């Protein structure tokens, strides 16, 4: 190369290509920041914003080419001449130096603006609702209004809301409130700040759906709860064949509005469509609607209706992974809450859950369904827990996985972990009485009675007629403090009315007799306890058996079992016949054991109670195993096997079993009268009180 001819890189410098490139990069970056912050305020779609960003990027090589070809001179823009072989004239060199200084000033100014923007963004809270909401990144999706002329389309509006919520729950950076906590609110509440405070969120998504013919119109708006300002709003009009894509678009737009950074997996999950078959998706939404009703009604017709609709969706699209998962979960709900599925149905549920996972390994619902099969179907906690954990890795706000994992941890004896998981679930579902009540019950089992009462009262405030938290609150006051008057305050309705639906399923006496009767036993008012049971309806064989078992126990504790010998013989015959058909049924063995005690057949009573405790030992189930062991200790106490009774009671007082046994109960309950004259009794009480103080310190 001739020494007088400039090199290529020197020529790039002479033509200001470097500086133009640097200025374009800085200016382009600033422009992109403005685009992504300002355009959402004017409701410019995500696609429109992306197109503008692509235009900025595509302009970079164009700017470099123009910088090479043209020069800015006092005479205007001219074609840049080639460098002369002997070098440029002094005047031209001076002119270029002047241009260099101007470009330097311009580049410096752009860099100063960029630096200022970065400092402002990192150190000063930006004004406006969007920033406040994005900083918190918590959201509640309220029920969508059904604006369709046909009110039967309510399932469609609910389905839109529910699926958007489910997609958002898969974003790790978002706290998404469960539908069980949002469903009681209306779509456009007047007291938005109050609703947000109750749900613990900074932003609210409202929406409405209008379905007419073959099209649907979906309106959604994201609102900052603190200022009541709209962060983002959009209307989607789609044909029914394309309507399920709206859920993906809405979820992506909300994630961007809340400035949630998405991983590649999260982006893929938001963009994925559950099915391409519109008719299958319509049946799926109908199934979801019926399934949600079944959770509350616990009516077999609702469960069956949901299952039939899921199957119709799957007939149209056998590869519909989400429908496979939800069908399996609904079947398992019928198994857990109503009556046991036969082996064939359980196998169908398992196959559906496994099919969902095989079709879509990253679908959280598939792992929830499979985990629920192992938990509710087979009580195999070791296989269930990893499935729930995988679902939470994929979608951290999945409430079914959180509650399932917490319940398993409790059964595995992982009490601190279980409490932490339930408390996390209560943050996701703050208005769900069952979840809040589970936190209270876990505190109660761990003998944190003060904390237990706080959560149980909160649960009852959410669902005043719910029996379960009322039972637990009554026992917390009775067993935790010996507070009979406080326990009776929980009985806001006649206890006999509660006994209409009573179903004893546990091994210990307060379950056989019913918590609603137990304050009478603490006060040794046995006649009052008998009157309550005598007033209860006896319309079914199960209700009649429950009454016989309760009367037997009450009369044993009163020392009057001779008066009910005939009833005890009837109870014994019924239970013995049932146990012969179902020898491992934990709902039958406790009543059989008490019938034996009533008839003076103490060794037979001990055999039945021991069999129940062996079927569900603490090592297998720390939750219900404690109940079975308590039942065994009670039978041992009343059948004269005091050595075993003291050993088991001592163990129960040192482990989380506060729902079944406490020092206060042993002191007050007439069931334990045979222990009081024994020399070992003071040590049992003293050790129990020391253990309880230690447990309360860790609350």
- Kindly report which listed range (147-161, 238-252, 426-440, 499-513) carries the lowest average pLDDT score: 499-513
Residue 220's SS3 state is: strand
**b/e map 505-521, b = 16+ CB within 10 Å:** ebbbbbbbbbbbbbbbb
Residue 203's SS3 state is: strand
The pLDDT tens digits of the residues spanning 339-377 come to: 888 999 999 999 999 999 999 999 999 999 999 999 999
Contacts of 344 (CB under 8 A, 6+ apart): none
Question: What token pair was written down for 645?
Answer: 């009774």
Question: Per-residue pLDDT for 126 more than 50?
Answer: no
- Kindly report which listed range (65-79, 84-98, 446-460, 506-520) carries the lowest average pLDDT score: 84-98
Nearest alpha carbon to residue 399 among 56, 169, 92, 152: 169
Residue 236 pLDDT class (50, 70, 90 cuts): confident
* Kind of pairing between the strands at 175-176 and 138-141: parallel
Nearest alpha carbon to residue 163 among 380, 395, 407: 395
Residue-level pLDDT at 98: 60
Q: Are 597 and 635 in contact (CB under 8 A)?
A: yes
Question: What token pair was written down for 204?
Answer: 């609210």
Question: What token pair was written down for 362?
Answer: 């990253």
Residue-level pLDDT at 111: 64
Over range 14-29, report the average pLDDT: 70
Specify the residue for token string 């969706």: 313
Per the document, the length of the chain is 699
Residue 91 pLDDT class (50, 70, 90 cuts): low
Q: Are 612 and 628 in contact (CB under 8 A)?
A: yes
**b/e map 625-663, b = 16+ CB within 10 Å:** bbbbbbbbbbbbbbbebbebbbebbbebbebbbbbbbbb
- Kindly report which listed range (111-115, 279-283, 630-634) carries the lowest average pLDDT score: 111-115
Question: Per-residue pLDDT for 30 more than 80?
Answer: no
What phi and psi values does residue 431 have, to the nearest 5 degrees? -110, 15
The pLDDT tens digits of the residues spanning 389-406 come to: 999 999 999 999 999 999
Q: Are 244 and 275 in contact (CB under 8 A)?
A: yes
Question: What token pair was written down for 644?
Answer: 């075993």
Residue-level pLDDT at 130: 39
Residue-level pLDDT at 496: 45
- Kindly report which listed range (91-100, 204-213, 277-286, 550-559) carries the lowest average pLDDT score: 91-100
Residue-level pLDDT at 127: 37
Q: Are 646 and 404 in contact (CB under 8 A)?
A: no
Comparison of pLDDT for 54 and 462, the residue scoring more = 462
Question: Per-residue pLDDT for 531 more than 80?
Answer: yes
Question: Per-residue pLDDT for 1 more than 80?
Answer: no
Residue 639 pLDDT class (50, 70, 90 cuts): very high
Question: What token pair was written down for 509?
Answer: 């006496």
Residue-level pLDDT at 23: 72
The pLDDT tens digits of the residues spanning 557-597 come to: 999 999 999 999 999 999 999 999 989 888 889 999 999 99
Specify the residue for token string 């005479």: 75
Q: How many whole angstroms separate alpha carbon 331 and alpha carbon 12?
A: 71
- Kindly report which listed range (50-54, 392-396, 425-429) carries the lowest average pLDDT score: 50-54
Q: How many whole angstroms separate alpha carbon 142 and alpha carbon 191?
A: 13
Residue-level pLDDT at 82: 62
Q: State the pTM of this model.
A: 0.76
CB neighbours (10 Å) of residue 419?
Answer: 23
Query: Which domains, from first to last, does the chain contain?
Result: 8-124 (no CATH), 131-271 (3.40.50.10070), 278-462 (1.25.40.10), 493-697 (1.25.40)
Residue 75 pLDDT class (50, 70, 90 cuts): low
Percentage of the chain modeled with pLDDT above 70: 81
Comparison of pLDDT for 541 and 682, the residue scoring more = 682
Percentage of the chain modeled with pLDDT above 90: 47
What is the rounded (10 degree) CA torsion for 570, 571, 572, 575?
130
Question: Could you give the count of Cα atoms lying within 13 Å of 375 in the half-sphere of its Cβ?
Answer: 28
232 has which bridge partners?
222
* Kind of pairing between the strands at 138-141 and 203-212: parallel
Q: How many whole angstroms separate alpha carbon 647 and alpha carbon 249?
A: 62
- Identify the DSSP state of 71: E
Question: Per-residue pLDDT for 182 more than 70?
Answer: yes
What is the rounded (10 degree) CA torsion for 637, 639, 641, 645?
-20
The pLDDT tens digits of the residues spanning 344-354 come to: 999 999 999 99
Residue 150 pLDDT class (50, 70, 90 cuts): confident
What phi and psi values does residue 77 have, to the nearest 5 degrees? -85, 125
77 has which bridge partners?
72
Per DSSP, the residues of 18-38 read: HHHHHHHHHHHHHHHHHHHHH
Question: Per-residue pLDDT for 157 more than 80?
Answer: yes
Residue 103's SS3 state is: helix
Q: What is the mean pLDDT of the chain?
A: 84
Question: What token pair was written down for 72?
Answer: 């800015």
Instruction: Provide the strand spans (E) within 225-326.
Output: 229-239
Question: Per-residue pLDDT for 28 more than 80?
Answer: no
- C-alpha 665 chain-centroid distance: 34
Question: Per-residue pLDDT for 118 more than 60?
Answer: no
Residue 256 pLDDT class (50, 70, 90 cuts): confident
Helices 589-598 + 602-615 axis angle, to 10 = 160
Over range 190-212, report the average pLDDT: 87
Over range 152-160, report the average pLDDT: 83
The pLDDT tens digits of the residues spanning 454-503 come to: 999 999 999 888 888 888 999 999 999 999 999 999 876 554 445 544 45
Question: Per-residue pLDDT for 50 more than 80?
Answer: no
Question: Per-residue pLDDT for 85 more than 60?
Answer: no
- Kindly report which listed range (63-67, 293-297, 350-354, 405-409) carries the lowest average pLDDT score: 63-67
Residue 84 pLDDT class (50, 70, 90 cuts): low
Q: How many whole angstroms separate alpha carbon 283 and alpha carbon 297?
A: 21
């Amino acid at each position: 190369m001739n020494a007088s001819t400039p090199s290529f890189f020197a020529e790039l410098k002479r033509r200001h290509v470097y500086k133009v490139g640097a200025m374009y990069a800085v200016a382009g970056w600033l422009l992109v920041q403005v685009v992504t912050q300002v355009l959402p305020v004017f409701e410019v779609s995500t696609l429109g914003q992306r197109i503008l960003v692509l235009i900025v990027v595509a302009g970079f090589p164009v700017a470099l080419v123009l910088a090479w070809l043209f020069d800015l001179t006092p005479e205007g823009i001219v074609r840049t001449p080639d460098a002369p072989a002997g070098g440029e004239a002094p005047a031209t060199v001076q002119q270029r130096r002047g241009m260099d200084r101007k470009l330097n000033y311009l580049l410096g100014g752009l860099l100063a603006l960029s630096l200022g923007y970065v400092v402002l963004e990192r150190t000063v809270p930006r004004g406006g609702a969007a920033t406040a909401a994005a900083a918190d990144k918590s959201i509640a999706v309220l029920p969508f209004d059904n604006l369709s002329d046909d009110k039967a389309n309510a399932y469609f509006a609910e389905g839109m809301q529910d699926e958007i919520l489910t997609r958002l729950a898969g974003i790790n950076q978002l706290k998404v409130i469960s539908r069980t906590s949002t469903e009681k609110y209306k779509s456009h509440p007047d007291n938005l700040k109050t609703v947000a405070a109750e749900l613990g969120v900074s932003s609210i998504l409202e929406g409405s759906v209008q379905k007419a013919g073959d099209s649907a119109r979906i309106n959604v708006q994201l609102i900052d709860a603190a200022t009541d300002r709209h962060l983002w709003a959009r209307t989607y009009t789609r044909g029914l064949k394309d309507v399920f894509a709206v859920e993906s678009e809405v979820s992506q737009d909300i994630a961007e509005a809340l400035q949630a950074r998405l991983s590649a997996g999260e982006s893929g999950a938001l963009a994925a469509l559950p099915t391409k078959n519109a008719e299958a998706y319509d049946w799926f939404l109908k199934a979801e609607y019926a399934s949600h009703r079944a959770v509350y009604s616990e009516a077999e017709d609702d469960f069956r209706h949901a299952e039939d609709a899921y199957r119709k969706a799957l007939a149209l699209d056998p590869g519909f992974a989400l429908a496979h998962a939800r069908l399996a979960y609904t079947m398992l709900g019928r198994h857990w809450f109503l009556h046991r599925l036969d082996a064939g149905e359980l196998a169908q549920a398992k196959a559906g859950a496994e099919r969902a996972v095989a079709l879509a390994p990253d679908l959280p619902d598939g792992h929830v369904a499979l985990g629920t099969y192992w938990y509710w179907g087979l009580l195999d906690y070791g296989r269930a827990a990893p499935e729930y954990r995988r679902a939470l890795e994929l979608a951290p706000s999945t409430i079914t996985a959180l509650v399932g994992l917490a319940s398993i941890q409790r059964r595995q004896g992982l009490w601190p972990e279980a409490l932490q998981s339930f408390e996390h679930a209560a943050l996701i579902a703050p208005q769900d009485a069952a979840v809040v009540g589970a936190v209270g019950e876990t505190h109660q089992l761990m003998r944190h009675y003060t904390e237990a009462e706080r959560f149980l009262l909160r649960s009852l405030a959410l669902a005043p007629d719910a029996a379960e938290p009322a039972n637990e609150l009554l026992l917390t006051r009775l067993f935790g403090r010996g507070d009979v008057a406080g326990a009776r305050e929980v009985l806001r309705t006649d206890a006999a009315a509660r006994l209409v639906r009573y179903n004893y399923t546990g091994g210990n006496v307060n379950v056989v007799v019913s918590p609603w009767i137990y304050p009478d036993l603490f006060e040794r008012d046995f006649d009052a306890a008998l009157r309550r049971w005598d007033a209860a309806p006896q319309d079914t064989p199960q209700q009649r058996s429950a009454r016989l078992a309760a009367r037997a126990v009450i009369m044993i504790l009163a020392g009057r079992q001779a008066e009910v010998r005939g009833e005890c013989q009837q109870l014994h015959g019924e239970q013995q016949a049932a146990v012969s058909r179902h020898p491992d049924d934990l709902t039958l063995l406790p009543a059989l054991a008490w019938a034996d005690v009533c008839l003076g057949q103490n060794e037979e009573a001990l055999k039945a109670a021991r069999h129940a405790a062996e079927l569900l030992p603490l090592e297998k189930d720390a939750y219900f195993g404690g109940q079975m062991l308590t039942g065994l200790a009670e039978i041992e106490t009343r059948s004269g096997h005091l050595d075993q009774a003291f050993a088991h009671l001592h163990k129960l007082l040192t482990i989380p079993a506060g729902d079944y046994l406490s020092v206060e109960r042993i002191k007050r309950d007439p069931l334990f009268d045979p222990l009081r004259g024994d020399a070992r009794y003071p040590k049992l009480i003293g050790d129990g009180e020391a253990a309880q103080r230690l447990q309360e310190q860790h609350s």
